[in-house]
Amino acid sequence: MSFSLPLDSLVCQTSHCPDFHASGRDNIRLRKVYGPEQRRLLRCRTCGAHFSETKGTPYWGSKLPPERVDSIVDHLTHGNCCSSTAELTGCHRTTVARIMRQAGVHLQQFHDQHARDLKVTSMQADERHSFFGKKAEQAWDFTVVDPKSNFVIEGQVGARTAELTRVLLGSAKERLAAPQSLVLSTDGYLPYQSLFSELFGSVWQPPRRGKRGRFPKKAYRIPRSLAHVRIIKEYSGRRVVEVRTEVAAGTQKRVNQELQTLGYTTPNTSAVERQNGTARRMNPHLARKSLAFARLPFHASHVGCVGSGRL
């Protein structure tokens, strides 16, 4: 690990500070250098708190040398589970689990801080499942990817419900510079369809007929720059027999325009499906058709760690 990160890239770690986790505020100053690792003690000018530059990272509170911590994180992100990482690095598996959790929280904070004002004109969303505890208990990872750069915009872990889909699309929208100019590609999962109009469209109150009675239900208007396309797979048993596409919101013209930009001939979710494959390869508990699923309680933090940057 290098401790020479520029001061303006570091943020205040005090939760009650107005500049908590906020970058670019010019509030961090060097107080002194301490310890055998020559770590820097920092001071926040806004709240006056002192903290180590390692606070909030996996190096914080660890008696292991930084190289061992790096090695543990490297093993975990290259397809090893807690037990095999513990075996390979000579640490106890609870140490590995703690470092994994701290790294995940840190990654999530880093993503929240930096993945803002993204200039993205199309997104692909998909869900993948694994198991937790036993094969009857499914754990779902929802992911939103930018197909142009393959950047993971947002990820959520939980049950496959409309509420989690709402959180996913809502959080992804907040990260965009222009959410009104977007083509969303998803599979046939129905909540995407209703939530897209609600979250990205504008509310419109249709006029009532005559002067009496209730107003009709509020509707959502979709601007011409927005579109949602569904890629619906028809199955016969476990085999896909037909794939059809449906423009669920917006116009075919807008979809065609985005396909041309991406170099696609038909609408698809290939980028997010490729990401699913990568996540399954890099996280042993996401492997399909195996008994490597997350069986033990401390495995819970491993489900979805690679896909969403969340442990």
Instruction: Write the single-letter amino acid at 13.
Output: Q
Taking CB under 5 A as the rule, does residue 167 contact Zn ion? Answer: no
Tokens 């208007």 map to which residue?
221
Which one of the spans 40-48, 91-99, 198-206, 219-227 is the region binding Zn ion (CB under 5 A)?
A: 40-48
| Residue 15 phi, psi (nearest 5) | -65, -30
Q: Determine if 47 is a binding residue for Zn ion (CB under 5 A).
A: yes
Residue 50 CB, nearest approach to Zn ion (Å): 10
In the bound state with Zn ion, the residue whose beta carbon lies nearer, of 47 and 199, is 47
C-beta of 47 vs 195, nearer to Zn ion? 47
12 binds Zn ion (CB under 5 A): yes
Q: In the complex, what is the shortest distance from the CB of residue 114 to Zn ion, in angstroms, rounded to a whole number? A: 19
Give me the least distance between CB of 19 and Zn ion, in Å please.
Answer: 5
Interface segment toward Zn ion; rule CB under 5 A; list 6-14, 77-85, 118-126, 153-161 = 6-14
Among 44, 97, 145, 157, binds Zn ion (CB under 5 A): 44
CA angle, 172 then 176 then 180, to 5°: 100
Residue 37 CB, shortest distance to Zn ion, in Å, is: 23
Q: Which is nearer to Zn ion, 10 or 73 (CB)?
A: 10
Query: Which residue's CB is nearer to Zn ion, number 41 or number 296?
Result: 41
Q: How far is CA 310 from CA 104, 168, 178, 190, 276, in A?
A: 5, 13, 25, 26, 15
Is residue 240 within 8 Å of residue 233, measured between CB atoms?
yes
Q: Write 41-49 long-range contacts (CB < 8 A, 24+).
A: 42/7, 42/10, 44/12, 44/14, 44/17, 44/19, 46/12, 46/17, 46/18, 46/19, 47/12, 47/14, 47/16, 47/17, 47/18, 47/19, 49/12, 49/13, 49/14, 49/17
Q: In the complex with Zn ion, which residue's Cβ is closer, 47 or 296?
A: 47
Binding test (CB under 5 A) with Zn ion, winner from 46, 62, 109, 245:
46
Binding site for Zn ion (CB under 5 A): 12, 14, 17, 44, 46-47
